[in-house]
Amino acid sequence: MKVLILAGGFAKRMWPLTENRAKALLPLDGKPVIEHIINKIEPINFLKQVFISTNKKFEVDFKEYIFHSQTNKKLELVVEPHRREDEKLGAIGGMNFFLEKQNVREDLLVIAGDNYFHFDLNDLLSYGKKNSDSVIALYDMRDLEKVRNRFGVVKLDHENRIVAFEEKPNEPKSTLISTGIYYLKKDDIPMIKTYVNERNNPDAMGFFIKWLIQRRVVRGFRFDGIWYDIGSFALYNEVMTSLR
């Protein structure tokens, strides 16, 4: 299994804070956001290497972070060839770039670089190993207003198969959302290239999941505990306040 942390965006909604600093490198409780993610990967012994996908603009910043990192994992940077928002590959395009560059032919754990969470990734991986289907990590926001226009919304059947997915709906039918953590099985990996080649929306992962569930079985795994998506000034300030 390989691990990929997606950090290739420009986070324009958080400018000027992120105009010259990658969102994944923003400070949070004394260390960069991405380090909290890596700390959650560290206890998983069979994961030896972590790939970080970023863009050309922030290449030097991530190289410096990796140079000073004290993690027990090998960190490797994958640099997408763009410097501006209007050039970016998008989350799915960036993932496809990584898969082709690394010739990935195995299971893949994908984590969005703006995630902050306290739950154990081993639980997700253990669940995923019990069947042959890809799995996405889910979180119940318990409030429709907190979901509206902000998150990918999921509906499950009685066997935790995803039967519906809406990307940031104005009228959400559920408070169960995608967290931006994906356990993709190797048999589903080629579907990413197919999706991109069909010229589907390459930006948000939710568009790919909505497309994928029409072709493959994808399951959801619910997490409890603390989770934040650091996607705006307000959310960044909210998590900063909660950690004081």
Query: In the chain, how many domains are there?
Result: 1
pLDDT in tens, 160-186: 999 999 999 999 989 999 999 999 999
pLDDT given at position 144: 94
Sequence-distant (≥ 6) Cβ neighbours of residue 161 within 8 angstroms: 133, 217, 218, 219, 220
**Mean pLDDT, rounded, for 13-23:** 87
pLDDT of residue 208: 94
Q: Which residue has the tokens 């400070």?
A: 27
pLDDT value, residue 84: 78
Indicate the DSSP class of residue 161.
Answer: B
Q: What is the CATH number of the domain that holds 41?
A: 3.90.550.10
Strand partners, 195: none
> What's the CA gap between 110 and 124, in Å, rounded?
12
Q: Two tokens at 218?
A: 């994808």
Grouping H, G, I as helix, E, B as strand and the rest as coil, residue 124 is helix
- For the stretch 21-70, pLDDT in tens is 999 999 999 999 999 999 999 999 999 899 999 999 999 999 999 999 99
Q: How far apart are CA 61 and CA 122, in angstroms?
A: 29
Q: Can you state the angle between helices 189-197 and 205-212, rounded to 10 degrees?
A: 110
CA proximity to 33, closest of 11, 60, 1, 2: 11
Domain housing 148: 2-242
Q: Tell me: pLDDT of 200 over 80.
A: yes
Unique residue bearing structure tokens 């990734």: 121
**Which residues, other chains included, contact 87 with Cβ-Cβ below 8 Å and sequence gap of 6+?**
none
